[in-house]
Chains A and B, each alone.
Chain A
Amino acid sequence: MKLRWLIAGLAAVAVAMVAGLALGPLRLPPVAVALELLHLHSGLTPREAAVVTELRLPRVVLALLVGATLALAGGCYQGVFRNPLADPYLLGVAAGAGLGATVAIAFTSKGGAAVPPAAFAGALVAVVLTYLLGAAGTRYRTPATLILAGVAVTSFLTAVQTYLQQRNAETIREVYSWLFGRLGTAGWHDVLLLLPYAAVSTAVIVAHGRSLDVLAVGDEEAASLGANPKRTRYILIVAASLATAAAVAVSGLIAFVGIIVPHTVRLLAGTSYRAILPLSALFGGAFLALADLAARLVLAPAEVPIGVVTALLGAPFFIVVMRTVRRGSV
């Protein structure tokens, strides 16, 4: 991996972090914020310091983690399925999480607190279902059967979710606000929930960068080179699905991060997954932290749902990328 891209990625994370901490209803000098982060003498008042470290920091860190997880999982699925348009919600994660969240909102009195575990459980059930339908039972398993199973599971679970929503009309608003993604009501709690999954999955996925490069020549050639494509794919699907499920559980559905970030990285830094994976994590984190900043600032004091911001930025961007990329390389 080219060192300069790694440095650029780290710089992007640092910039996004400082901007996210400095800007808001209370504007603070970025340099002072950076010093405060490093536990140096910053000149901020105790109240300002509290805004930075207690109010904004958990949210910025959560944005970094969720963005990194989604972008990494997206890049991973794209390698596993040899399809540059695969996204982290491919195998039914989104629909499963959506159903889980709807059930929690409609049927429990706890509301908000029950959503993350229910969404997480729903996402995992959906992925397992997809895997059972797509991989087991059929004699000729190909990556494509798994994707088709994901489509079927998504349709089915979405239908169930819609039915539940209709039956419990008063929940629709809450369900939708969750579906469009939200970051940061819960302080460090959500960060701690996501962190173990994000850390383990990131380690596993980044370590498989070379394996994904080998997989790029197709299963049969990869096997002739001594690789084990099935096992690699299985491990990576589990890692990426767990991470996505955890991210969705704490943040709802945030569209496009998992496609546009790895895609852009691929255009800039080349097509080796050894570069794509770590760089996607860094730029994905930075991108989501900045998108969250935009979500907070554009209509302040009101907030735009973060999923709306990423979709508004992502969809046009995606079209531009599609049109500029040389034919044949996608």
Chain B
Amino acid sequence: MSARSVTVALDDRTVLRGADLDVGAGEWVTIIGPNGAGKSTLLRAVGGLLPFTGSIELFGTPITGLRRRERARLVATVPQQPTVPPGIAVLDYVLLGRTPYIPTLGRESRSDLEVVHGVLERLDLTGFAPRPLERLSGGERQRVFLARALAQGATLLLLDEPTAALDIGHQQEVLELVDELRRDRGLTVLTTMHDLSVAGEYADRLVLLAGGRIAAAGKPAEVLTEENLATHYGARVRVIPGEHGPLVVPVRS
């Protein structure tokens, strides 16, 4: 995935200005930044869900040149707050991920169902298949959202704050799962994240977005510096080197 000078205007406001971003195959890149920085917007642009200027290429093809269904087979998005249709069962929800393979007026084939059952099994969700999605816990739901994205069979996974609603244990569970899947299936992962330490632990590279511009990018230790966080978050923190990445601890002055 490669983005060049991507600019997005929403309601006549420029939300994203000239963002450049490269994500290599199999890499995990996490976008961080204060609230309203434009993280979700960048992810939506990469998913082809927003009009933008500049260029975004997926595996060498401009996304604007892809048909909807082709694009949906390459990129799968889990939005920050996915819509849960009332009454839908987990199986039917995950089956929605097969939409780019099912003819518009057709119905799912046996192979679509096989893919879905495979994904459910992989994510330990088989027992949940007939249950209404709205009655699952936050962690279980997040796994179901992930399952729908995996059912799309896409190689680029866009996850918008996948752990925002989860407690610390479930955060780790979901992120470990994403990391395993990335290795098993050769996925490329682009996420946004709130918790900076967690972001640094799991990502190969971080991109710091502030005010719609990319303020810093690189290895977690290069981006998560006390100075960067003070400038762009207005936060006082100590950054402590850790095993997998720097640990960010807020402190009072």
List CB contacts (< 8 Å) of A207-262 with chain B: 207-208, 210-211, 213-214, 216-218, 220-221, 223-228
Q: Which of B86-94, B113-121, B192-200 contacts A (4 or more CB under 8 A)?
A: B86-94
Best-buried of A225, A272, A328 by chain B (most CB within 10 Å): A225
Does chain A have a CB within 8 A of B49? yes
Nearest Cβ distance between residue B89 and chain A, in whole angstroms? Answer: 8
A-B contacts, 15 of them at CB < 8 A, read: A208-B105, A211-B105, A213-B85, A216-B83, A216-B85, A225-B72, A225-B99, A227-B104, A270-B87, A271-B85, A271-B86, A271-B87, A272-B88, A329-B86, A329-B134
The answer to whether B83 touches A221 (Cβ under 8 A) is yes
| A218: nearest chain-B partner, CB-CB | B83
The answer to whether B72 touches A271 (Cβ under 8 A) is no
Residue numbers of A with Cβ under 8 A of B are: 207-208, 210-211, 213-214, 216-218, 220-221, 223-228, 266, 270-272, 274, 328-330
Residue numbers of B with Cβ under 8 A of A are: 44, 47-49, 68-69, 71-73, 75-77, 79, 82-83, 85-88, 92, 96-97, 99-100, 102, 104-107, 134, 152
The answer to whether A227 touches B83 (Cβ under 8 A) is no
Known: A213-B92, A220-B79, A272-B92. A225 touches B100 (CB 8 A): yes
Known: A218-B83, A270-B87, A271-B85. A224 touches B105 (CB 8 A): no
Best-buried of A224, A226, A228 by chain B (most CB within 10 Å): A224
The answer to whether A210 touches B86 (Cβ under 8 A) is no
Known: A216-B85, A225-B152. A210 touches B102 (CB 8 A): yes
| B158: nearest chain-A partner, CB-CB | A224
User: Which of chain A's residues have a CB closer than 8 A to the CB of B79?
Assistant: 220-221, 224
Interface residue SS majority, chain A: loop
Bound-state Cα–Cα, A216 to B99, Å: 13
Nearest Cβ distance between residue A54 and chain B, in whole angstroms? Answer: 39
User: Which of chain A's residues have a CB closer than 8 A to the CB of B88?
Assistant: 216, 271-272
The answer to whether B82 touches A224 (Cβ under 8 A) is no
Bound-state Cα–Cα, A329 to B134, Å: 9
User: Which of chain A's residues have a CB closer than 8 A to the CB of B77?
Assistant: 221, 224
| A232: nearest chain-B partner, CB-CB | B104
The answer to whether A224 touches B49 (Cβ under 8 A) is yes
Contact of B49 among A210, A214, A223, A228 (CB under 8 A): A223
The answer to whether A328 touches B104 (Cβ under 8 A) is no
Known: A225-B96, A226-B99, A271-B88. A217 touches B82 (CB 8 A): yes
| A206: nearest chain-B partner, CB-CB | B105
User: Which of chain B's residues have a CB closer than 8 A to the CB of A329?
Assistant: 86-87, 134
| A222: nearest chain-B partner, CB-CB | B99
Best-buried of A218, A220, A270, A274 by chain B (most CB within 10 Å): A220
User: Which of chain B's residues have a CB closer than 8 A to the CB of A328?
Assistant: 86, 134
Bound-state Cα–Cα, A207 to B104, Å: 9
Nearest Cβ distance between residue A224 and chain B, in whole angstroms? Answer: 4
Known: A225-B72, A272-B92. A214 touches B99 (CB 8 A): yes
The answer to whether A226 touches B92 (Cβ under 8 A) is no
User: Which of chain B's residues have a CB closer than 8 A to the CB of A216?
Assistant: 83, 85, 88
Nearest Cβ distance between residue A45 and chain B, in whole angstroms? Answer: 49
Best-buried of A217, A227, A270, A271 by chain B (most CB within 10 Å): A217
User: Which of chain A's residues have a CB closer than 8 A to the CB of B96?
Assistant: 213-214, 217, 225
User: Which of chain B's residues have a CB closer than 8 A to the CB of A210?
Assistant: 102, 105-107
Nearest Cβ distance between residue A233 and chain B, in whole angstroms? Answer: 13
Known: A213-B96, A217-B96. A224 touches B134 (CB 8 A): no
Q: Which 3 A-B pairs have CB atoms at the shortest separation, nearest pair first?
A: A226-B72, A226-B100, A271-B87
User: Which of chain B's residues have a CB closer than 8 A to the CB of A207?
Assistant: 105
User: Which of chain B's residues have a CB closer than 8 A to the CB of A270?
Assistant: 87
User: Which of chain A's residues have a CB closer than 8 A to the CB of B104?
Assistant: 211, 227
| B76: nearest chain-A partner, CB-CB | A224
| A270: nearest chain-B partner, CB-CB | B87
User: Which of chain A's residues have a CB closer than 8 A to the CB of B47?
Assistant: 224
User: Which of chain B's residues have a CB closer than 8 A to the CB of A330?
Assistant: 86
The answer to whether B105 touches A226 (Cβ under 8 A) is no
Nearest Cβ distance between residue B92 and chain A, in whole angstroms? Answer: 7
Given contacts A213-B85, A220-B49, 11 further A-B contacts (CB under 8 A): A213-B92, A216-B88, A217-B82, A221-B77, A221-B79, A224-B76, A224-B79, A225-B96, A225-B100, A226-B71, A272-B92
Bound-state Cα–Cα, A223 to B79, Å: 12
Bound-state Cα–Cα, A2 to B88, Å: 15
Nearest Cβ distance between residue A133 and chain B, in whole angstroms? Answer: 22
| A220: nearest chain-B partner, CB-CB | B49
User: Which of chain B's residues have a CB closer than 8 A to the CB of A221?
Assistant: 77, 79, 82-83
